[in-house]
Amino acid sequence: MLIQFIFHQPLSLLYFTAPLSLFFEVLLKIFLKNHSRCHTKKMIQLTATPVSALVDEPVHIQATGLTPFQMVSFQASLEDESGNMFYSQAHYRANEFGEVDLKHAASLGGDYMGVHPMGLFWSLKPEKLLTRLLKKDVMNKPFQVQLKLYDLELIVNNKAASAPKASLTLERWYVAPGVTRIQVREGRLRGALFLPPGEGRFPGVIDLFGGLGGLLEFRASLLASRGFASLALAYFNYEDLPAKPEITDLEYFEEAANFLLRHPKVFGPGVGVVSVCQGVQIGLSMAVNLKQVTATVLINGTNFPFGIPQVYRGKIYQPFPYSAQLISTSALGLLELYRIYETTEVGASQYLFPVEEAQGHFLFIVGEGDKIINSKAHAEQAIGQLRRHGKNNWTLLSYPGAGHLIEPPYSPLCCASMTRDLKLHWGGEVIPHAAAQEHSWKEIQRFLRKHLIPDMTSPL
């Protein structure tokens, strides 16, 4: 090989006056340098920063060491606490340097297209249809997301069983270091209180979910990670709470507000409420009836009670009657309930909450693609009431393409799931829903800080 190399050199190198040994020494150095350059192969690397983070934090994903313009596929997978698998994939072309940076590169195919740095997370889909991703144990174990990088050509040629070019595991936590969880069993109250690290004091928030019942803690734990003393409050189908209550007793929620305000680490004089779906009717009623509630976030809900009556100190709010004939079914056989409450009919106003009596502030968040509740219409009706009474204590965030289950950022869209043996269509389109979750989460925090912390201007 060395002899071949010599005879392929420029003729000028063969005419020399130096000693022969020196010539061969120089020639050998040139050969070794070129040989090393020709045979050195870059190692393919897949990196993510940070590897361990809260679920509402973005991750910077990059691949390096590829051949220029190579087509590759990024694949993500996650196993939930029940063993259900969720998957996503996106296909990219490396740049001229053999690199793919998801912060700048556009996906050309897969589960989404375009520049979406966190697309592999919010496009995760269940292997088993009608499965919703829900974190139960928020304190002790994160979700682990497996990232793998494949040569796209191998996948196209049905060689997906081949080993990935690179892989890594990410940790996605629902609680920050130093956050404490306190189980609440005080009187008839049932829930979990999450406190941020430090001496405090902190703005207090009551977190209410909807028709699933039980106790969901993932939003309260994240709020505590962002500086809020957050009470995840159960109100049916949990421990000794009734599985199917006949009424909603608002005094229970008043007890929760007072419990939070008595805590030495909580700011006064008011608390906030974050509510979604069925929880919205309770959050709205709390804002109307309880002076302790000064900031209320209402995500995709109604401006009236439904299902069962609400009772508070002798007052009874009767549930709005629904029209069963207006239940519809999607092309995939999923139930859609968003038309069953006709609030514009004669006599409907008697069921609506008197929102004009509330002294605090409202943040209405609605997904215009909600297929369970006509949340935009209900929010606009409540805002109309406020306007007619000269009130401007409200903000409306309305998101085209977002569905019913608007959750913290980078959560996968759940457009349908099995709930109480019903196949429900929650609605939403993947990309606009993801954008709504990211934007609304920041706005929720800004709103709560503004109205719960004295003389506080939120940095968000």
**Catalytic positions, written as ranges:** 277, 370, 404
Other residues' Cβ atoms within 10 Å of the Cβ of residue 71:
19
C-alpha span between 115 and 434 (Å, rounded) = 13
Amino acid (1-letter code) at residue 224: A
Token digits of residue 61: 């994903």
CB 109 within 8 A of CB 126: no
* 32 residue type, one letter: L
Q: Where are the beta strands (DSSP E) in 59-165?
A: 60-64, 71-79, 85-93, 100-101, 109-110, 125-126, 143-151
> How many helices and strands, by DSSP H and E, does the chain display?
9, 25
User: What is the rounded distance in angstroms from the CA atom of residue 20 to the CA atom of residue 151?
Assistant: 49
First to last CA, the chain: 65
State how far the Cα of 309 lies from the Cα of 298, in Å rounded to an integer.
19
Measured torsion, CA atoms of residues 279, 245, 351, 286, in degrees rounded to the nearest 10: -40
Residues 6 or more apart whose Cβ sits within 8 Å of residue 44: 63, 64, 65, 66, 149, 165, 166
